[in-house]
Chains A and B, each alone.
Chain A
């Protein structure tokens, strides 16, 4: 039970984050993400939106496991506003794009909608799995902090704005040696919570 409430993990460093985003907590993250999946980035391309002429980055995922929602194919494509084409860069402040070959756990707000950032709460719904020296996959936040636990009881206030990491995601403090959550434990914690609060 304790494992269901408090778990551990890791993530990969990203570039920047999102502009001004409301904070979300783990309960909201799981409740409002229509699709939660484990997958790997199989390719990225930067395209121009024909109507606005703005750049966006199209990311192709190979879906390994769906934790919530349904997919008819093992592939998924998500668009993110901004990107780089040659010398020209359209930079969306705070946007962290999944990098090529990245393996992660992704919380997608509405896969049928085209959003500035399809992840629920931007970096708050974006976790990366990284293999450690022992070959164990551990979880980091999109902004590079090792995740050491999940607390589903933490809540946010309406006026609270994102600090890049969802409320209830516990990250390793400087100097701590506590190991990050494994991908397995992270997945299991989410599944257990979804069983209780589908």
Chain B
């Protein structure tokens, strides 16, 4: 360690920050990476279908959005990360320029600097490892390329590992996918203060009409809980903010439903017009869906559509605020012989009256199945059931079983042996 490096470390340790710096910095708060990421097998996309280039750019954007530093991407031509050519690049390799990775190395960032000023940065990803691109929690051997790339880019910036506070630069690759406050303080110490992370866009909300399903998508570009709860949260989950007005007081039923086959773990938060939390819910709907019943006065309210996980979870969902709520919802009744009568079910925006017939599946004698029976036009009332558009799963909310209300989820279960039947099996049932 040379004296300049040491003096910088001492200078920062005197102010007792948690972040750790490697010493040098770039002369400008802007850097271009030139790359065309293709693995050794010639694949430009991960198993998930996402291009490696796009994933690397997303990793850059995670720093760009939150800090004063700007990474630029120049794609279309790959360069050799082993060459010292003043080109900053990234690539997959089976070794690191003649040096083997060994059993445990996933990726390596090497920076060249002269007198504490960086000249070049190269990132090499170990192509012997199973990479993919995903936002969900880590599990198994496969590693998420984007969050490792974002971590490596932190080293490019001059950040070292942080072990004392939550940070993307923690040495443990975890469910943290974005630069956190400690990381950003480190970048600010090197390159100046960042714009306020809570941008105006995080104050904006979407108007939500009553009794209408609003479809949305939680994604990486959304405001995050740590943007909205500044200083109080390390929660990286995305938030869509809605605003609705109740013309009169009364009972409302608010629902958030994931729409993908692997749905979001939906989380709803109801806030008053000063954005103070009134109520929240995680799993009161069917499966992982959120639902809350509240008696509210007339006025303006905010609704945060969020996920239960503290890490980023993306995906389609829909949300609805229904006035009148369950008292006015069309009924769902379990009839003798296990027939199910749904007076109003919503499917692709239309309302139907549906009868489901029980079905004895020869391969699954212990599982309850239903087939689609009679279908008629339904009344334009708050539906008692919903068919999820992407999965055909049915959510009954709730079904009346001898006077007891049960939230039920039916899983769409097509069977090649019965191609003519629309089949659902019982997936979840919870007493309300």
Contact = CB atoms under 8 A, between A and B. Distances in A.
Given A81-B110, A88-B112, A51 B98 contact: yes
A116 B94 CA distance: 12
Overall SS of chain A's interface = loop
A91 B140 CA distance: 31
Given A54-B97, A120-B102, A160-B172, A16 B22 contact: yes
B84 A54 contact: yes
B140 A159 contact: yes
B139 A52 contact: no
A82 B110 contact: yes
A71 interface: no
B379 interface: no
A92 interface: yes
A158 B173 CA distance: 12
Interface residues of A, number: 48
Contact of B105 (A18, A84, A114, A164): A18
A192 B233 CA distance: 46
B357 interface: no
Contacts of A17: 160-161, 171
A114 to B, nearest CB: 6
Interface string A81-94: 11010011111111
B138 interface: yes
Contacts of A195: none
A10 to B, nearest CB: 18
B14 interface: no
B414 interface: no
B84 A87 contact: no
Contact residues on B (Cβ < 8 Å of other chain), bracket: 35 or more
25 contacts: A17-B171, A18-B108, A19-B155, A20-B107, A21-B105, A22-B103, A23-B104, A49-B97, A54-B82, A54-B84, A84-B2, A89-B112, A89-B114, A90-B112, A91-B111, A92-B108, A93-B109, A93-B110, A93-B152, A114-B98, A116-B99, A116-B102, A158-B141, A160-B172, A162-B104
A25 to B, nearest CB: 11
B106 interface: yes
Interface of A: 15-24, 32, 49, 51-54, 56, 79, 81-82, 84, 87-94, 109-110, 113-118, 120-122, 124, 158-164
B113 A121 contact: no
Contacts of A109: 102-103
A122 B104 CA distance: 8
Interface in B112-143: 112-115, 138-143
Contacts of B84: 53-54
A113 B100 contact: yes
Given A89-B113, A90-B111, A120-B103, 15 more contacts: A19-B105, A20-B105, A20-B107, A20-B148, A87-B115, A89-B2, A92-B110, A94-B160, A109-B103, A114-B99, A120-B104, A122-B104, A159-B139, A161-B173, A162-B171
A164 B171 contact: yes
Contacts of B98: 49, 51-52, 114
B316 interface: no
Contact of B104 (A16, A22, A90): A22
Q: Which 3 residue pairs are nearest across A and B when measured between Cβ atoms?
A: A93-B155, A161-B173, A22-B104
